[in-house]
Amino acid sequence: MTELNASEFRSLIISVFPELTASAFKLAAKGWDSLAVDVDDTLIFKFPRHSGAERALVKEAALLDIIRPSLSMAVPDMHIHDGPPIFSSHAKLEGEHLIAEDYDALGESYRRRLADDLARFYAELHVLDADRMRSAGAGPIQPWQSPEALRSKALPLLPPDLRSFAQAILADFETLPPDPHGNIYGFFDGHGWNMAFNHAQGRLNGVYDFADSGFGPLHQEFIYSNFISPDLTARIVSAYEMLTGRRLDRRRIAILTGFHRLSELAEFADDPAYVEQMIRSAATWAGAVHVG
């Protein structure tokens, strides 16, 4: 699939939305699967970069139609336009990304509210009817790299002090029994780059990008907030336990977090554009927590 240039994006959008002729267009994000165009800071249009991404976008819209009415948290109200090319539109969720430095600057009451809001988001998401989600297109989440791949691709890239930490993570991961809560339909992408956070008010306005959502082990749902802060994850887990009555294993979450960082390093081991970033990600986790 040939990617469109900026003027072609604009022409295509205006052909469907002529009222936007005088609007300001800017490229919002260039993800693995889609390009996002921001119009007037109020609308987001997503253009798939390949045929697999087209199918994923249509599936995401169908899933959101089920998810949206069931959540307290705001999520995109996505509409598909058949094109060609296929693209989607939705009102932009107001807010910015939430990264580690932002979270560190939050006061206690804001941290507590954020954790409570995310715990409720997960609790409401996890009780959605599995058959209904499957009928809308939800399937298993994308698998991680194997332990063998981590040993051959990730570990040789790590400095010696990190390598021993990584070996311990691998050993712990390989001895984990199946998730005691089994598989659920979940988000599995709850890092701060998928959040619309109002920094002035210290409030999470919404969550977006459900392309990676699907069925997976319940504990894995809680690893992604560790990209923001282990403190946030601990708060989410405690609030989730109060809401659902489920007891979560914090050590399992820590092991899964470490394995995921190493899996990403193995996945991008041959990509010079990303390999250093993945090494830093593993190092950050090693410095933040000790899995014992």
> Under CATH, which number does the domain 6-91 receive?
3.30.200.20
Residue 141: Cβ within 10 Å count: 20
Report how far apart, in Å, the C-alpha atoms of 141 and of each of 59, 67, 84, 95, 291 are. 13, 17, 28, 27, 25
Q: Within the chain, which residue ranges are assigned CATH 3.30.200.20?
A: 6-91
User: Among candidates 183, 162, 286, 177, which has minimal Cα distance to 230?
Assistant: 286
Cβ proximity of 139 and 214 under 8 Å: yes
> What DSSP designation does 140 have?
B
Predicted local distance difference test score (pLDDT) of residue 27: 85
Cβ proximity of 9 and 45 under 8 Å: yes
Q: CA-to-CA distance for 37 and 260, rounded, in angstroms? A: 30
Predicted local distance difference test score (pLDDT) of residue 33: 80
What's this model's pTM, rounded to 2 decimal places?
0.92
Q: Within the chain, which residue ranges are assigned CATH 3.90.1200.10?
A: 100-288
Cβ proximity of 35 and 29 under 8 Å: yes
Q: CA-to-CA distance for 245 and 201, rounded, in angstroms? A: 30
Predicted local distance difference test score (pLDDT) of residue 130: 97
What is the CATH T-level fold of the domain 100-288, as seen in this structure? Aminoglycoside 3'-phosphotransferase; Chain: A, domain 2 (3.90.1200)
Instruction: Please name the amino acid found at residue 54.
Output: E
Tell me what percent of the residues of the chain surpass a pLDDT of 90. Answer: 85
Q: CA-to-CA distance for 198 and 204, rounded, in angstroms? A: 6
Residues of the chain below pLDDT 70 = 1-6, 29-31, 289-292
Cβ proximity of 219 and 181 under 8 Å: yes
Q: CA-to-CA distance for 142 and 213, rounded, in angstroms? A: 9
pLDDT digits (tens, 9 = 90+) for 155-190: 999 999 899 999 999 999 999 999 999 999 999 999
Instruction: Please name the amino acid found at residue 175.
Output: T
